[in-house]
Amino acid sequence: MTDPTTPEYAAARDAADPLAGLRDRFLGAETPLVYFDGNSLGRPLRSTADRLERFVREEWGGRLIRGWDEGWFDLPLIIGDDLARVLLGAAPGQTAIGDSTTVLLYKLIRAAADHQVRTDPRRTEIVIDTDNFPTDRYVVEGIAAERGLTVRWIEVDLVAGVTPDLVRAAVGSATGVVVLSQVAYRSSHLADAAAITEIVHDAGGLMLWDLCHSAGSVDVALDAWGADLAVGCSYKYLNGGPGAPAFAYVAARHQDTLAQPIQGWMGHADPFAMGPGYRPAPGMRRFISGTPAVVGMLAMRDMVALVEEAGMTAVRDKARRLTSYAVDLADAWLQPLGVTVGSPRDPARRGGHVTFYHPSMRAVTAALWDQDVLPDYRDAHGLRVGLSPLSTSFEEVRRGMEAVRATLARIGG
Amino acid sequence: MTDPTTPEYAAARDAADPLAGLRDRFLGAETPLVYFDGNSLGRPLRSTADRLERFVREEWGGRLIRGWDEGWFDLPLIIGDDLARVLLGAAPGQTAIGDSTTVLLYKLIRAAADHQVRTDPRRTEIVIDTDNFPTDRYVVEGIAAERGLTVRWIEVDLVAGVTPDLVRAAVGSATGVVVLSQVAYRSSHLADAAAITEIVHDAGGLMLWDLCHSAGSVDVALDAWGADLAVGCSYKYLNGGPGAPAFAYVAARHQDTLAQPIQGWMGHADPFAMGPGYRPAPGMRRFISGTPAVVGMLAMRDMVALVEEAGMTAVRDKARRLTSYAVDLADAWLQPLGVTVGSPRDPARRGGHVTFYHPSMRAVTAALWDQDVLPDYRDAHGLRVGLSPLSTSFEEVRRGMEAVRATLARIGG
């Protein structure tokens, strides 16, 4: 039972998995499909279909406009606080659901960069790494161009990722805000967020963490790190559905001093007075702009509750075990075919996915999709295996990796 | 049968209404509840509950990440084009669904104001009326403050609204962009959009129309007016659900020259290359920022299809007849109690709602809600009766107005 490539080994791992029973809560868990892309779009919970249907009939259809008074208005902050408690390591009153990751990045980076320059005109740099997710890089470039600021790029090795040393070398008296992802979208590299945040603070900078690929798969401790700002999406490990709203965290100590640029009625201190002149609400509400996307934020609630039931520690532990198993199988099956592991081999430095490189991976991914095995492809030549901890079994990992091997052997030339 | 206050009169009007049969398509139409707030949150269609439930099971749950390739990616532009054809009088390729009204206002006003100043540094004014919806005013004030521009306020009489003469007096060589609502959220005043757009253009300004209170209740003809930009929400007359995404229109002639500030991956020319440097997509896609809110934009599709089935001309005609009936009932029942009509009496100058003023209207609205009669209250002292054309019957209008009379007579003292 020590050969990881056997079906018996996978079955034994599932039998020993304390979270195995939760997999059936997800739609499609009973099908033979292998889902290696829960880090791009999480599977829906079975309860979500009913929840949406019931919401339309009973709440929207039954309560109509009264729903706003009866809970919808505060939903971005209520779900935000749940998320903060269960997944983000953040005290209440600092997290709100809304907009998209891109729009929230814009609002918070603008708020932070503008504040820094106002306080000290020399702090004109926005620091970001070259391997950050595209939308983070594009938003930062846009803000720098419009505000007359400079982008300072941290050049990173794909697998080694953003290290404290690289950050220390990049920050200083010109640093305004630093924008990094806790888990890198390609390599899965897990940054040392506590150490990096301290380095940024020592240089007088503000630290924004992108949690898109980490919330729900690794430990997040925003308050303990002393993070200033964070954003993340809800359609990956939070299973909020395609294009579900994102979340924003602003540390309480900054809420009264940071001003975000999109000042809308829902961030007003007294929105229904509809009076002249914008007056920002106290606390986290001022970071909300338009009408909350109520229908879009229902699904993630179920997932936050499920993570609370499972316990984030157990979820993180399973993420580690699943990715280690995928690496073990790659060592046995894929390395002989010329595949390299493009993620940290140390599970403590890795998020919930693993990327494998081979020149044929674009074609392999396409061929796998035709067999209902769904990994993601990421340039250049990377096959990304995302292992959403609560919806993925060891048996599924084994079956999927076996399909990768067979497909690569067939077309990998 | 000429006394509009009799039940028989209302029944006859319903019997003669070619759209009466469509009311049953909406959830709750069979209940005794009177819904006078479909202009704030439209009722769900019956088909919407099933559509969402089916989407979760079949598309999200069944197709998983493949859904993006199979249609979701283009959904903002596909639904945008449907909306444009059926409701906005706009050719394809100029309308996209996404974000919230507030965020879209920010993006488009920034794009237009920045462009104007770049082209002619004297064009430093954003023109808006004092009775525009709060979020429009707040966004404009925020943009003016951050960009060093000036807000030029058009002071309007609540009922007379924004007239061509008022606009002519406000625009000139300093005009950058003009932001007006086609239908005023309190008075229901319907602006002469064609004439005003021409006046703004003659002065060298760009014209942005807010269609929140007009799309789905009055004729909109963006292309024929020569409008430059428009935004609107989908949760009122488009029945998209609480907080459903908004829509943006950018005239084709401007798409290559206007740059919106929130440059995200979904507006990139090649988003999945994930390469360095933002390169805006050609056409309307560049005005999209983050991942499209797929779940949130499903419901409005049903309503766009229903409006197409009914025909926008018939919908507009019914909106006129319903609001005229409410005014007739107010003349008979409410005027003797001291109520004044706060909307244009000419139905050609009025949108889909009517506002009635009386010092007791705040208390009256609260008392009506207790009886399942749901109008909206708008400061100061306004009871707003919203009559969503396809989901409202004449019998419902009569019953609701009778409840207003009885409640006002009881507590109006």
**CATH label of the domain that carries residue B327:** 3.90.1150.10
Contact at CB, A138 and B261, closer than 8 angstroms = no
Q: Is B134 on the interface with A (CB under 8 A)?
A: yes
Cβ-based contacts of A134 with chain B (< 8 Å): 265, 268, 271, 274-275
pTM, to two decimals: 0.98
CB B392 within 8 A of CB B322: yes
Round to whole Å and give the CA distance between B328 and A119: 60
Residues in B 65-124 with any Cβ partner in A closer than 8 A: 65-68, 72, 99-103, 105-106
What is residue B45's DSSP assignment? B
Round to whole Å and give the CA distance between B344 and B359: 20
Residues in B 140-169 with any Cβ partner in A closer than 8 A: 141-143, 146
Contact at CB, A146 and B28, closer than 8 angstroms = no
Rg (CA), chain A: 22
What is residue B42's DSSP assignment? P
Residues in B 209-238 with any Cβ partner in A closer than 8 A: 233, 235
Round to whole Å and give the CA distance between A87 and A312: 7
Q: Chain-wide mean pLDDT for chain A?
A: 97
- Please tell me the predicted confidence (pLDDT) of residue A264: 96
Among candidate residues B376, B10, B341, the one with its CA nearest the CA of residue B158: B341
Q: Are residues A336 and A232 in the same domain?
A: no
Question: Does residue A277 sit within a domain?
Answer: yes
B133 is catalytic: yes
Q: Are residues B264 and B152 in the same domain?
A: yes
**Residue that finishes a domain, picked among B283, B307, B331:** B307
- Please tell me the predicted confidence (pLDDT) of residue A159: 85
Question: Does residue A295 sit within a domain?
Answer: yes
Question: Does residue A95 sit within a domain?
Answer: yes
Round to whole Å and give the CA distance between A249 and A165: 26
**Domain CATH number, residue B213:** 3.40.640.10
Round to whole Å and give the CA distance between B247 and B343: 27
Round to whole Å and give the CA distance between A376 and A361: 10
B26 is catalytic: no
Taking the CA of residue B30 as centre, how many other CA atoms within 13 Å lie in the half-sphere pointing to its CB? 5
**Residue that finishes a domain, picked among B270, B287, B307:** B307
Q: What is the pLDDT of residues B341-385, one digit of tens each?
A: 999 999 999 999 999 999 999 999 999 999 999 999 998 899 999
Q: Tell how far CA A121 is from the center of its chain.
A: 32
- Please tell me the predicted confidence (pLDDT) of residue B2: 86
Instruction: Look at residue B134 and give its three-state secondary structure.
Output: helix
Disruptive mutation site among A31, A37, A56 for chain B (greatest number of B CBs within 10 Å):
A56
Which alpha helices (H) appear in B203-356, and where do they start and end? 222-225, 299-310, 312-329
Q: Are residues A78 and A134 in the same domain?
A: yes
How is A6-53 classified by DSSP, letter by letter? Answer: SHHHHHHHHHT-TTGGGGGGBTTTTSS-EE-BTTTSPPPBHHHHHHHH
Mean pLDDT by 10 residues, chain A (413 residues): 92 98 96 96 96 96 96 97 98 98 98 98 98 97 98 93 97 98 97 98 98 97 98 97 98 97 96 92 98 96 97 97 98 97 96 97 97 95 97 98 97 76
- Nearest-CA distance A172 → chain B (Å): 25
Q: Are residues A288 and A377 in the same domain?
A: no
How is A41-72 classified by DSSP, letter by letter? Answer: SPPPBHHHHHHHHHIIIIIIIIITTHHIIIII
Q: Are residues A336 and A283 in the same domain?
A: no
- Please tell me the predicted confidence (pLDDT) of residue B1: 61
Disruptive mutation site among A60, A73, A288, A355 for chain B (greatest number of B CBs within 10 Å):
A60
Q: Are residues A315 and A294 in the same domain?
A: no
Question: Does residue A150 sit within a domain?
Answer: yes
Question: Does residue B63 sit within a domain?
Answer: no
Round to whole Å and give the CA distance between B36 and B396: 9
**Residue that finishes a domain, picked among A288, A307, A326:** A307
Question: Does residue A247 sit within a domain?
Answer: yes
Q: Is A369 on the interface with B (CB under 8 A)?
A: yes
Given A37, A43, A65, which is nearest B40 (Cβ)?
Answer: A65
Contact at CB, A142 and B241, closer than 8 angstroms = no
Q: Which residue has the tokens 């002519």?
A: B168
- Please tell me the predicted confidence (pLDDT) of residue B159: 86
What are the distances in angstroms from CA B214 to CA B100, B155, B160?
17, 21, 17
- Nearest-CA distance B386 → chain A (Å): 12
SS3 content of chain A, % helix, strand, coil (to 5): 45, 15, 35
Q: Are residues B103 and B201 in the same domain?
A: yes
Q: Are residues B178 and B194 in the same domain?
A: yes
Structural element, H or E, at residue A384: strand A382-386
How is A114-167 classified by DSSP, letter by letter? Answer: HHHHHH-TT--EEEEETTS-HHHHHHHHHHHHHHT-EEEEE---TTT-S-HHHH
Round to whole Å and give the CA distance between B24 and B3: 27
Q: Are residues A199 and A338 in the same domain?
A: no
In this prediction the ipTM stands at: 0.97
Beta bridge partners of A248: A96, A231
Domain membership of residue A23 as a residue range: 7-45+311-411
- Please tell me the predicted confidence (pLDDT) of residue A255: 98
- Please tell me the predicted confidence (pLDDT) of residue A1: 60
CB A101 within 8 A of CB A133: no
Q: What is the pLDDT of residues A251-267, one digit of tens each?
A: 999 999 999 999 999 99
| Other Cβ atoms closer than 10 A to B257 | 10
Q: Are residues A242 and A317 in the same domain?
A: no
Question: Does residue B339 sit within a domain?
Answer: yes
- Burial (Cβ within 10 Å: 0-12, 13-18, ≥19) of residue A346: exposed
CB A380 within 8 A of CB A361: no
Q: Chain-wide mean pLDDT for chain B?
A: 97
Q: What is the pLDDT of residues A333-375, one digit of tens each?
A: 999 999 999 999 999 999 999 999 999 999 999 999 999 999 9
- Please tell me the predicted confidence (pLDDT) of residue B413: 60
Q: Are residues A262 and A318 in the same domain?
A: no
Taking each continuous run of H as one helix and of E as one strand, the counts in chain A are 13, 13
Q: Are residues A287 and A361 in the same domain?
A: no
Question: Does residue A199 sit within a domain?
Answer: yes
Task: Indicate whether B295 pLDDT > 70.
Answer: yes
A107 is catalytic: no
Round to whole Å and give the CA distance between A224 and B327: 61
- What's the structural domain count of chain A? 2
Q: What is the pLDDT of residues B15-61, one digit of tens each?
A: 999 999 999 999 999 999 999 999 999 999 999 999 999 999 999 99
CB B11 within 8 A of CB B1: no
- Nearest-CA distance B2 → chain A (Å): 34
Reduce the secondary structure of A298-327 to three states and give it as a string: CHHHHHHHHHHHHCHHHHHHHHHHHHHHHH
